[in-house]
Amino acid sequence: MTNLISIGDLISKGFKAIQDTWKPTLKYTVWFFLAPILLGSVMMFGAFSLGSARGSVGPIIFTLMLVAYIALIVVLLWASISIMQYMLAYAHGHADAAPKRSALSYVPSLLWVGILSCIPLFLSWILVVIPRLVLRNDTAAGLFTALFVLGVIAFNIWFGIAVSQSSLLVIDEVGRGIAALKESYAMVLNRWWKTLWRLVIPNFLFQMIVSTILMVIYMVAFFIGIAVFGGWTAAIGMDGTDALRATNVGFSLLGTILIVIFGLVMIAFTAVATVAQMLFQTSVSAELYLSLKHSKHGTQSK
């Protein structure tokens, strides 16, 4: 087996992927913002309409709201799978190649893999109730229940990492169903800890960087808001003309415009950070998947 891609390489490739892929994936990432907005608009319209609906109009509006919610799920599934398709192609070095299949055509296979992977997790949690059913001593039952819970949590984490590559195997046309779960287990076998660190550390560090940048932006906007509306806060302890003058300064047209501008800037930075994080995490997953795949077969990862 060849060595897995290093954590440092995963991070550097992730940052490069953001620069290289944000434009071609914009047609997908934009739907993570547009779809909820459109759904919210439909839901608000439906809520107001239901209040005044009569006769057969009510069920029609309710059906419209249900269809809108289903459409949101479908659009987000399509966008998520499309991004992963593109990132896998990018990691393979074929970013310009057309997708093998439509993104939505993978949904049944991904859903089936998800169901299969959840069955062992569900069964493991059933074990937690066994001490309560078998042991009559409440203290002993509580102790064994706690031990079982810890064991089940450990198993869930282990199993989740072991089958973490199954969805990528489906999208990469390597395996489906149980075959995908078995292949993922074989890829992670003897490299469970290495896989865990490569999934957790890059994403954690990137999240810390993004959170720090956003916190600085929010704090700047907050202090500017205090400065703009400082006259209003000062007016609390004033009387008469001075209070009126301070209030007028705090709620001036310029102050309102500044607050709106900084609010829009904060929303824009949050949207950019969300897209960047999405692309980074997808890149890490794709690069690690290829490294595990090549490492298993003894070939050198790109």
- Calculate helix-pair angle for 31-52, 253-296, nearest 10 degrees: 120
Whether 113 and 170 have beta carbons less than 8 Å apart is answered as yes
At 44-65, the pLDDT tens digits run 776 676 666 555 556 667 777 7
Where is 272: in which H helix or E strand? helix 253-296
Whether 14 and 284 have beta carbons less than 8 Å apart is answered as yes
Separation CA 240–CA 228 (nearest Å): 21
pTM, two decimals, is 0.79
At 84-110, the pLDDT tens digits run 999 999 988 887 777 778 889 999 999
pLDDT band at 18 (very low <50, low <70, confident <90, very high): very high
Whether 148 and 127 have beta carbons less than 8 Å apart is answered as yes
pLDDT of residue 168 exceeding 70, the answer is yes
- Residue type (1 letter), 218: Y
Mean pLDDT of the chain, nearest integer: 80
CA 144, 145, 151, 154 torsion: positive or negative? negative
**% residues pLDDT > 70 (the chain):** 79
Write down the pLDDT at residue 302.
Answer: 43
pLDDT of residue 279 exceeding 70, the answer is yes
- Residue type (1 letter), 170: V
